[in-house]
Amino acid sequence: MRTPPEQLQQWLAEPEGTRLEFKEAKARYDFEKLLQYCVALANEGGGKIVLGVTDRRPRRVVGTAAFDEPGRTEAGLHQRLSHRIPVEELKLPEGRLLIVHVPGRLPGTAWQIDGRYLKRAGDDVASLGDAELKAIFAETGPDFSAEVCPAALLSDLSPAAIATFRARWAQKTRDERKAGWGDAETLTNAELLVDGGVTYAALILFGTRPALGRHLAQAELVFEYRSSEASGPAAQREEFREGFFAWHDALWTLINLRNEREPYRDGLFVMDVPTFDEVQVREALLNAVAHRDYRLGGSVFVRQFAQRLEVVSPGGFPPGITKDNVLDQQSPRNRRLAEALARCGLIERSGQGMNLMFERAIRQGKPLPDFTGTSAHEVRLCLNGLVSDPAFVRFMERLGEETLRGFSTHDFLVLDHLHREQPLNEALRSRLPRLVEMGAVESTGRGRATRYLLSHRLYEAIGAKGVYTRKLGLDRDTNKALLRRHIERNKAVGARMEEFRQVLPALARSEIQVLLRELVAEQAVHKRGVTRAARYYPGVPPADCNPGQQVANETG
């Protein structure tokens, strides 16, 4: 994000209100306090936190030394809150400013930090009241999983499944007193039993097979193993119509029975990568169970093929969620169900599961999770288990576990895009300076023509120095050759910039302009016209071309 000067001046003149928060923060600013203000501001619709400005009018820019690594601060915010919150650094003659761009919460959701749902209260923050939270959560309709199933009884729930939940809850909270609770007390404290009534969330998690058949038959998962892409009956089919805690381990065991491992060599050591990563698979199942629409009659389907796993769940993405923002926004469809899974540690924090799936795929050199085919009535998730480049797996290993623990999902995405030679959007480009500092990425060129590639040191460590050389130098020559070829083929009418961007879609306009200037300097091509009307032709300009105009064209 780039804030124009006139916009900043307008903010400085406005009163501090629902969309603006000013902090002087000359020397430093507490990160925990920044987290709290982000949560509070998001719950009020989003806005800007400006550090380095006096908070009383007439406001003055005093500059701030807080958070000298904005990229690291942005990564920390994402790690703690599971939302992308851009942090912009603005250097003015009066001093340095930081602008934290806080997005608004999605309908029916509220942000929280350490279990506290916050709002602003004067010069501080305070917890949202019960009535305020209830109004927020009711924005997209009632939570189906929190409703009581009128005909269900406590005897419809599996004591063994409840015991597993209770033990995990006690272990996660390190509170052994929970282990001594009875079933009714456990369910009441987890808000799964309301005034003695069994909620649908309790049925989904702990229901017996007969009970689900009577009260919620669609709470079913169907597993199929298919040995080929041919249509027809599956080679194996299993139906799980019991509470989640009764079958989730059994399903992973089924998948793991046919889980091949792909070996790769790292120096003297031979290591292997499983086709289906357990963390990815379990997170995909948790998402399907926690976020499907139980008001629809279909079942969740898990289809295993030799090298991919498909998970199809009824109901499209929750309101406000799309394929493009699924990593940065969370909107649980079944809040009570998701909260119960979080209590026992199966969901560590809201939204983390999807990030884990993407990060694990990148670390193992596999294609990213794919939502192709998702529609308004179902979510389709494909996990591709094929390791496309074992050398990239070795590259990630050489970065080291300590380094990778400090990466955000967007840092992993940057490395994946560079490895696959895909263009970076603005959000990913903002991560590059930090990755350069950490030695994972290198830069070549200057200014707008700067290019980034994975570190030479790491390519050398995995015995792929030639790949680095190709990406650094030969690609540039190849790109210039492609431009020359296109210009030669269109020598009668000339070639335009719009066409060059089709020839080299991975490069920015400024990068193509640099290559064209080099070709002109080499007298391989020449340019006629200026701005959008400019066209390029092969060879040197003809004798009747004005040399002065040619020079002007080259610098235009």
The HSE-up count of residue 278 (CA atoms within 13 Å, CB side) is 9
- List the domain range (segments joined by +) for residue 77: 5-136
Do 293 and 300 touch, CB atoms closer than 8 A? no
Mean pLDDT of the region 394-405: 82
- Chain centroid to CA 160: 36
Do 482 and 507 touch, CB atoms closer than 8 A? no
As given in the structure block, the two tokens for residue 322 are 């799309």
Do the domain assignments include residue 480? no
As given in the structure block, the two tokens for residue 141 are 């309709």
Residue pLDDT, tens place only, 457-507: 776 766 666 666 655 555 678 888 889 999 999 999 999 998 998 888 767
The model's confidence at residue 547, banded by pLDDT at 50, 70 and 90, is: very low
Do the domain assignments include residue 170? yes
Residue pLDDT, tens place only, 244-266: 999 999 999 999 999 998 877 65
**Which of 354, 386, 418 corresponds to the end of one domain?**
386
> What is the percent of the chain with per-residue pLDDT over 70, rounded to a whole number?
90
pTM over 0.75: no
Whole-number pLDDT of residue 134: 82
Whole-number pLDDT of residue 502: 85
Whole-number pLDDT of residue 447: 61
The domain total for the chain is 4
Please list the residues that pair with 271 across neighbouring strands. 264
Strand-strand pairing, 441-444 and 451-454: antiparallel
Residue pLDDT, tens place only, 531-544: 778 999 999 887 66
Whole-angstrom distance, CA of residue 82 vs CA of residue 75: 10
Whole-angstrom distance, CA of residue 19 vs CA of residue 88: 16
236 and 281 in a single domain? The answer is yes
Residue pLDDT, tens place only, 52-80: 999 887 889 999 999 998 888 988 898 88
The model's confidence at residue 193, banded by pLDDT at 50, 70 and 90, is: very high
Residue pLDDT, tens place only, 431-464: 888 888 888 888 876 665 577 888 877 767 666 6
Cα distance from N-terminal residue to C-terminal residue, the chain: 27
Kindly tell me the number of DSSP H helices and DSSP E strands found in the chain. 23, 19
149 and 224 in a single domain? The answer is yes
Whole-number pLDDT of residue 473: 55
Whole-number pLDDT of residue 430: 83
155 and 234 in a single domain? The answer is yes
The CATH number that applies at residue 97 is: 3.30.950.30
Whole-number pLDDT of residue 472: 59
**Which of 463, 495, 524 corresponds to the end of one domain?**
463
Q: State yes or no: pLDDT of 350 exceeds 50.
A: no
The CATH number that applies at residue 406 is: 1.10.10
